[in-house]
A and B are shown apart, each in its own frame.
Chain A
Amino acid sequence: MKENAGKPAIGSAARMLGVREPPGRHADVQVGADGRVVVGRAGISVSASIATMPTHLIPDHLRRGHRALRGARALPPLRVWRLADAAFADGPVADKLDLLIDSPTHGVIRPDGPTGLFDYQAAIAATQPLWVIDEHD
């Protein structure tokens, strides 16, 4: 996510703390006819570690000195963030938010129950103080 004053920038655009909303082409979630977020396998993508992130999302200043990050291609102000001490495992990660692991390397932060898009975005934004830059391999 992009950095803003030492914390991830909040917003609904790409590379921000928030989900991209429908009907955008790259929307991270779907909204049902009842106006609620469809709780499934969609949400904010997270990875198990830097080494298991796709290379286009790893800041390019990490290329030097890390064999596994030699192909890093993300330009500033993108940084790599860790959510407090949350484990990479299924379960609650913050108020009203749940982590679903869908592969050994990838998971999504999604609503922990039926909720509207505004409330989901607000719950995500509320986690901003918990995120810290963590760019260790």
Chain B
Amino acid sequence: MIERSDSFRRYERLLVQLAQAMAARPRDEALCETISEQMDESGFALSREELALANDISGDLYMLESAEVFEPAGMPEPELARRILVAYAQEEWATLLDLLRHHCAAVRRPEVAYIRARAYEQLKAPMTAWAFMDFAAKIDSGNPNLAAMALERRWRAGDIEGAVQESTQALKDPSAAPRLKVIASTVLIRCQRRDELVLADWINALRDALLNEEGSRNRLLSVIAGGYGLLGMLLADAGDNVGSMEAFSRYLRFSGGPGIAGSSRAAVAAALARNTTLSQAAQASLVEMAMQSVESNGSPLIAA
């Protein structure tokens, strides 16, 4: 089990902020200097191992401004691509990070960013994981999963205010991907920030998003199920018991697939049978399931 020091966590957060500020165009030099100055105290408290990890993170984050320094691969590119595929399949995250420091045209940039996000998450660098997933979502805006996974990571990394703000915007944006709206709803519920939106507007946004997802050729049943579970909770909050029961019924209809927690199904089924609202434990289970719904279906695969 990897544990990171408080100094490393603070340094990592500021390093991500600095990398994003340096990548911004036009670059705000004063902001970069301010962030850099804040990094001194935690930076000088890092261990050798943490300094090396910070250097690796910083080097990889140059990807955000297309200024990464690649190392000589020392092998033909097809062999490099093969090794990346094998390491990805075996989830050897540290090896993947090393391999991706060689330029490999067979791996698209959004895929590199996605893999780095997954890898740094395993290495207990959550802000870095968010930064790379967020970058993947920006450069591959056609993939509806990436933005949802980025938002989920932002929340998990502890940037609560940023996650709440992004969630609120997503739920107000008619063009936001349905999967993003489902995750945005879970963020607001988890952060107990239901007041960020008028409940009726929130319900309408989520309902529309779910109808869109249902009609999508690439729909994900787990996303739809999770979304209806959340919708049922919101409708119950709004006092619409009939609508709530209908949403929970839909949840049960769509939640038969793999990856759906049996406990959630049982809790919802029991509540429906008794015609009562869900217990807090059942609600928490639904939120957790909805949060994981995109994750379990979200990996873009490498084409080599």
B178 at the A interface (CB under 8 A): no
Q: Closest CB of chain A to B108's CB: distance in Å?
A: 22
B residues 176-220 with Cβ under 8 Å of A? none
Of chain B, the residue at the smallest CB distance from A105 is B48
Contact B18 A69 (CB under 8 A): no
Spot the interface stretch: A29-37, A54-62, A79-87, A123-131: A54-62
B55 at the A interface (CB under 8 A): yes
Contact A54 B48 (CB under 8 A): no
Q: Closest CB of chain B to A42's CB: distance in Å?
A: 11
Contact B40 A72 (CB under 8 A): no
B294 at the A interface (CB under 8 A): no
Contact B58 A71 (CB under 8 A): yes
A7 at the B interface (CB under 8 A): no
Encode contact with B along A68-98: 1 for CB under 8 Å, 0 otherwise. Answer: 1111111100000000000000000000000
> With a CB–CB cut-off of 8 A, which chain B residues contact A67?
71
Given the known inter-chain contacts A14-B37, A26-B40, A63-B69, please indicate yes or no for A55 contacting B48, CB distance below 8 A: no
A45 at the B interface (CB under 8 A): yes
Q: How many A-B residue pairs have CB under 8 A?
A: 82
Contact A55 B69 (CB under 8 A): no
Contact A70 B51 (CB under 8 A): no
Contact B51 A55 (CB under 8 A): yes
A residues 15-68 with Cβ under 8 Å of B? 26, 45, 47, 51-57, 63-64, 67-68
B243 at the A interface (CB under 8 A): no
6 A-B pairs with least C-beta separation: A71-B58, A54-B43, A70-B59, A71-B59, A71-B55, A55-B58
A-B contact pairs, 29 of them (CB 8 A): A26-B40, A26-B41, A45-B44, A47-B44, A51-B51, A52-B48, A52-B51, A54-B44, A54-B51, A55-B15, A56-B14, A56-B36, A56-B43, A57-B36, A63-B69, A64-B69, A69-B55, A70-B56, A71-B56, A71-B61, A71-B62, A73-B36, A74-B36, A103-B44, A103-B45, A105-B46, A105-B48, A105-B51, A106-B45
**Which A residues fall within an 8 A CB radius of B?**
14, 26, 45, 47, 51-57, 63-64, 67-75, 103-106
